[in-house]
Amino acid sequence: LMHSLLANPVSRYEAWDFVRKNWEAMVQKYPDSALPRMCEAVSGLLNRQDEVNEFFEQHKPRLGQKIIEQHLERLAVAIAFRDREGRNLTTTAL
């Protein structure tokens, strides 16, 4: 459920705020293997890259650190693409 909320453009920022505030409870409640999968959708948080990177620097998962790093890399790539091609895509779409 949380993965879907993080992936949804309408709810992603509210879901991210929920994850940040409730991370410790989620770590206790959910299996270690579920957290990296849930966090896959952080790659859509284009306006919060620094916050996301800082959060995962301070909250290392017990399992799946490489997977989290891949999600953070996808976020960086998405931001670089937006910055490089966003204007062209807007112009082309119109």
Q: What is the pLDDT of residues 27-86, one digit of tens each?
A: 999 998 899 988 999 999 999 999 999 999 999 888 889 999 999 999 999 999 999 998
6 pLDDT exceeds 70? Answer: yes
Q: In the prediction, which pLDDT does 59 show?
A: 94
Q: Which of 20, 67, 19, 76 is nearest to 46 (CA)?
A: 76
The dihedral through the CA atoms of 47, 32, 1, 77 has a sign that is positive
19 pLDDT exceeds 90? Answer: yes
Q: In the prediction, which pLDDT does 3 show?
A: 93
Domain count, the chain: 1
Position 63, amino acid:
L
**Residue span of the structural domain in which 62 resides:** 2-93
The conformational region for residue 92 under phi > 0 = left, psi -120 to 50 = alpha, else beta, is alpha
